[in-house]
Amino acid sequence: MGIRLKKFKPTEYVTVVKRGKAVKSGQGLTVLYNDIHTDIMVAPVTAFDGTFTFDDLVTADYQTVCVQGALTYMIDNYEQAYKMADFTFGRNYEEKKALAMELFCKRLNNVIRAIVIRETGKMDVRNIIKCADEMADLITEGLLNDEAVATLGIKILAVNILGIVARPDTRKALEAAAREQILKEQDDAIYLRRNAAIEQERLIKENELNTEIKVAEKEKEKKEKEQDIKRRLLETNLEMKQFEVEEKIKLEQRNKDFVDLEVENEKKRADEKAYEIAQIMKAYENVNVALIEACALANMDPKALMAKAFMELGENAGKIGTLNMTPDLLETIVGGNHRR
């Protein structure tokens, strides 16, 4: 009894109360106090882990399941926590602290149990054993919104569902049903695989048939195009030949026209020449023949005169008895004519 000095740990939140009034608070304080009229409240700053197990929960389809989980929490409002549990520093402080945190854990478990019972009754056994994460979220939300938890000055850090397990007989039934479902799915998979194989084979054959049909159509189109090309070539050749024949006909017609024109021109020229000769002959009808011959002889070549003389001699041969023509005489005549 008397004046004391106490150094607290950094993990402890200290509140000094004198005559019922808090005068100092903080983490890891060093306090010099008189234990006669001073009280010290010490609460842990660290987080605590608690567990919960509920093995008599009934689902919507009247099956019993067991829910196991873990809870992590810490004191958030120390003044509120001091009101809900004994955190007075002194003799047996560690035991008091353990009892206080156990009390908090028990009260939290009661709230969690109410939430789990409510949510479990809404689901059948098949669904609830698969909703651990959903159940943890529902518990966390329920704790945060619960007024009883708020009065504890507790902050919820985490809620984890470690397992949701049905009774052995129920589990076996579920396993059997699941096994049958798996076998059925396996049979369905085999059937689907076989059906898929048959369908694939059908598609392959159908594609092959379609390919053959398309190839045949292409061959037909190719032959039709070849026939069309041949027909066009024949038509083109025929047209060319017809064009050549027409051109030859036109050429022959032009040749015929040219020949006719040439014959007509020759006829005209012959008529003109005949007309010219006729006019000349007409002009010579009244001319003296002896005069014409004299004019002709005057300008005639000696050899031509000689030839003419011999022609006249030949014409009058019957009247001539004897004619002597020596070379000297002939030369004299020819020469004389040359001299003249």
Q: For the domain bounded by 48-166, which CATH number is listed? A: 3.30.479.30
Phi/psi at 143 (nearest 5 deg)?
Answer: -65, -40
* pLDDT for res 309: 66
Do residues 49 and 71 touch, judged by C-beta distance below 8 A? yes
Q: In which order are the strands placed within the sheet that holds 48-58?
A: 48-58, 64-75, 154-166
* pLDDT for res 180: 82
User: How many alpha carbons lie under 13 Å from residue 90 in its C-beta half-sphere?
Assistant: 13
* pLDDT for res 339: 45
152-189: pLDDT as tens digits: 888 899 999 999 888 888 778 777 777 788 888 888 88
DSSP structure class, residue 153: T
AA letter at 34: N
Separation between Cα atoms, residue 110 and residue 132, nearest integer Å = 19
3-class SS of residue 166:
strand
Do residues 78 and 43 touch, judged by C-beta distance below 8 A? yes
Residue-range domain boundaries for the chain:
1-46, 48-166, 302-339
* pLDDT for res 303: 62
Separation between Cα atoms, residue 130 and residue 121, nearest integer Å = 15
Sort 54 into a burial class: Cβ within 10 Å, 0-12 / 13-18 / 19+: middle
Separation between Cα atoms, residue 181 and residue 116, nearest integer Å = 29
Candidates 65, 144, 148; CA nearest to 106 is 148
* pLDDT for res 286: 61
Query: At CA 40, angle to CA 36 and CA 41, rounded to 5?
Result: 145
Low-confidence stretches of the chain (pLDDT < 70) are 1-2, 34-35, 283-326, 328-340
